[in-house]
């Protein structure tokens, strides 16, 4: 049996703007049906990568294949298989939410039901409202609806939940889970690490134009970075210990103090903790400053 070709394949991708190196040899695959989270600080190169894959930007060198096609040469048939939610949208029109979605749905061969999509993004009450009258978060939901209405095989989500209230973000996660269940491949960029942990099967961390780590959400940062931390206080002050067996340590502390130690806390590092340590260790800002000085 042959393994199906990945939906996204990137090899040694480079992008320069004048002297500035925005992407410096990035390689990764995204398998069919997988949700891949591309993480990284501001200016790391996430949008540049995603826009090259969407066919909106040309690469300087390297290889890229999206649904088996070089994005620099993707035609309308190829575009119709993609769903795109850009980082910032121009959706501020004079038409209603429903009109706009129905119009977009008409571009695709097998669109989703417009009213179901409106309900899935929580805009049923606003279906007949003009887009320009919506709040920022509601407009962002329209962007997401427009990205999924064409029933894409591959969905690009560039910071999709910026401006969403916490409840809307959770509703959005449910929508993405249902798309995942249907087999949609998803490339997500987000600064919300809990969002990446909730939705991502794998993640790549990009900093200063280089992929500094890649793996399943649990693998990012390596096993050592996930070792739990136990904190407590006693008459000698505050203590903390990292241990792979927090339950044994807590049991020992209970035995020694004859009850629960003061300020007892057992914390497993979150993806956000691990990510912040990774990016700090990489010293992204230094590299960016070096590049800036070089280009001045
Ligand atoms: N058209 C351009 N001309 C010059 N430099 C650019 C251009 N577009 C992007 N850059 C630079 O390339 C780098 C990567 O930008 P990119 O938008 O890909 O970052 P990002 O990871 O998406 O950041 P953010 O999280 O802020 O959206 C940045 O330093 C940015 O200033």
- Alpha-carbon distance of 270 to 123, in angstroms, equals 32
Pocket test for ligand 1, best of 15, 16, 20, 22 (most atoms within 8 A of CB): 22
Tell me, using a 6 A CB cutoff, whether residue 138 lines ligand 1.
no
* Interface pTM, i.e. ipTM: 0.96
Q: Report the pLDDT value the prediction gives residue 222, as an integer from 0 to 100.
A: 87
Ligand 1 atom at minimum distance from 51 CA:
18
Tell me which residue has its CA closest to atom 31 in ligand 1: 43
Pocket test for ligand 1, best of 14, 41, 48, 190 (most atoms within 8 A of CB): 48
pTM more than 0.90: no
DSSP 50-73: HHHHHTSS--SEEEEEETTB-GGG
Distance from the CA of 43 to the center of ligand 1, in angstroms? 5
Ligand 1 atom at minimum distance from 49 CA:
18
Tell me, using a 6 A CB cutoff, whether residue 22 lines ligand 1.
yes
Q: Report the pLDDT value the prediction gives residue 73, as an integer from 0 to 100.
A: 94
Residue-range domains of the chain with CATH: 8-216 (3.40.50.300), 223-295 (no CATH)
Distance from the CA of 49 to the center of ligand 1, in angstroms? 10
Q: Report the pLDDT value the prediction gives residue 282, as an integer from 0 to 100.
A: 86
Strand-pair category, 262-267 with 237-242: unpaired
Ligand 1 atom at minimum distance from 206 CA:
21
Low-confidence ranges of the chain (pLDDT < 50): 284-296
Tell me, using a 6 A CB cutoff, whether residue 42 lines ligand 1.
yes
Pocket test for ligand 1, best of 14, 17, 162, 208 (most atoms within 8 A of CB): 17
Q: What is the CA radius of gyration of the chain?
A: 22
Tell me, using a 6 A CB cutoff, whether residue 20 lines ligand 1.
yes
The gap between the terminal CA atoms of the chain, to the nearest Å, is: 54
Tell me, using a 6 A CB cutoff, whether residue 53 lines ligand 1.
no
**Residue in 277, 273, 38, 9 with CA at minimum distance from that of residue 159:** 38
Q: Report the pLDDT value the prediction gives residue 58, as an integer from 0 to 100.
A: 95
Phi-psi region of 157 (alpha: psi -120 to 50; beta: other; left: phi over 0): beta
Tell me, using a 6 A CB cutoff, whether residue 157 lines ligand 1.
no
Tell me, using a 6 A CB cutoff, whether residue 56 lines ligand 1.
no
Q: For residue 20, give the DSSP letter.
A: E
Q: Report the pLDDT value the prediction gives residue 24, as an integer from 0 to 100.
A: 95
């Amino acid at each position: 049996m042959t393994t199906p070709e990945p939906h996204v394949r990137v090899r040694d991708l480079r992008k320069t703007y004048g002297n500035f190196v925005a992407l410096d040899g990035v390689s990764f695959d995204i398998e069919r049906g997988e949700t891949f989270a591309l993480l990284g600080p501001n200016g790391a190169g996430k949008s540049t990568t995603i826009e090259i894959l969407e066919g909106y930007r040309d690469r300087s060198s390297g290889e890229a294949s999206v649904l088996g096609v070089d994005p620099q040469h993707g035609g309308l048939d190829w575009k119709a298989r993609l769903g795109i939610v850009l980082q910032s949208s121009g959706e501020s029109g004079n038409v209603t939410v429903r009109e706009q979605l129905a119009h977009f749905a008409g571009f695709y061969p097998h669109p989703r039901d417009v009213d179901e999509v409106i309900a899935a993004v929580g805009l049923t009450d606003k279906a007949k409202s003009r887009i320009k009258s919506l709040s920022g978060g509601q407009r962002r939901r329209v962007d997401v609806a427009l990205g999924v209405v064409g029933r894409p095989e591959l969905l690009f989500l560039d910071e999709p939940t910026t401006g969403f209230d916490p409840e809307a973000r959770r509703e959005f996660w449910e929508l993405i889970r249902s798309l995942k269940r249907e087999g949609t491949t998803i490339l997500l960029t987000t600064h919300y690490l809990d969002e990446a942990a909730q939705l991502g099967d794998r993640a790549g961390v990009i900093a200063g134009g280089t992929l500094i780590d890649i793996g399943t959400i649990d693998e990012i940062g390596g096993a050592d970075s996930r070792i739990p931390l136990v904190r407590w206080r006693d008459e000698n002050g505050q203590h903390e210990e990292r241990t792979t067996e927090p339950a044994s340590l807590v049991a020992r502390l209970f035995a020694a103090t004859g009850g629960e130690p003061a300020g007892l806390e057992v914390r497993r590092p979150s993806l956000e903790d691990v990510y912040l340590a990774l990016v700090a260790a990489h010293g992204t800002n230094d590299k960016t400053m070096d590049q800036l000085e070089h280009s001045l």
